[in-house]
């Protein structure tokens, strides 16, 4: 069973551009979570989605950030008009129905120049 897939692994964007991060959950997992890891810090929750629905977006910045998990295809985390402070590692995790543990992808490391 393939693990959680994320792409790209590394993404470089200039200030003001858009960043689009993709996450394919493990087979059979319908719950997807996004976390951000800033240097020297732990992971901070951003958003939790189930197919076609946002369940919890309490950690998502109010502006420029959005997420979706369509019926078909990967989950997308979109950051519009990126700023230097958005530089971080973004991790996606997935879990099956009824589980408490989550399984993480390798992350996308975003660098804003």
Partner 1 sequence: GDSVTQMEGPVTLSEEAFLTINCTYTATGYPSLFWYVQYPGEGLQLLLKATKADDKGSNKGFEATYRKETTSFHLEKGSVQVSDSAVYFCALSAPGGANSKLTFGKGITLSVRP
- Binding residues for partner 1, rule: CB under 8 A, are 4, 6, 31, 33, 35, 40-45, 48, 50, 55-56, 58-59, 91, 93, 95, 97-107
Burial class (CB in 10 A: 0-12, 13-18, 19+), 45: middle
Residue among 35 and 86 whose Cβ is closer to partner 1: 35
3-state secondary structure of 9: coil
- Smallest distance, partner 1 to C-beta of residue 62, A: 18
Nearer to partner 1, 17 or 68 (CB): 68
Q: In this complex, which beta carbon is closest to partner 1, that of residue 6 or of residue 75? A: 6
Contact between 37 and 89 (Cβ < 8 Å): yes
CA atoms of 113 and 11, how far apart (whole Å): 11
Q: Could you tell me if 67 and 73 are in contact, meaning their C-beta atoms sit under 8 angstroms apart?
A: no
* Least Cβ distance, residue 15 to partner 1 (angstroms): 25
Shortest Å distance, C-beta 50 to partner 1: 8
């Amino acid at each position: 069973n393939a693990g959680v897939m994320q792409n790209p692994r590394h993404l470089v964007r200039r200030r003001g551009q858009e960043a689009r991060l993709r996450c394919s959950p493990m087979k059979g997992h319908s719950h997807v979570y996004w976390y951000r890891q800033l240097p020297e810090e732990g992971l901070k929750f951003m958003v939790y989605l189930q197919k076609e629905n946002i369940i919890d977006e309490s950690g998502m910045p109010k502006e420029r950030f959005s997420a979706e998990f369509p019926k078909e295809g990967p989950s997308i985390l979109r950051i519009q008009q990126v700023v230097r402070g958005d530089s971080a590692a973004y991790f996606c995790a997935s879990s099956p129905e009824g589980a408490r543990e989550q399984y993480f992808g390798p992350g996308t490391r975003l660098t804003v120049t």
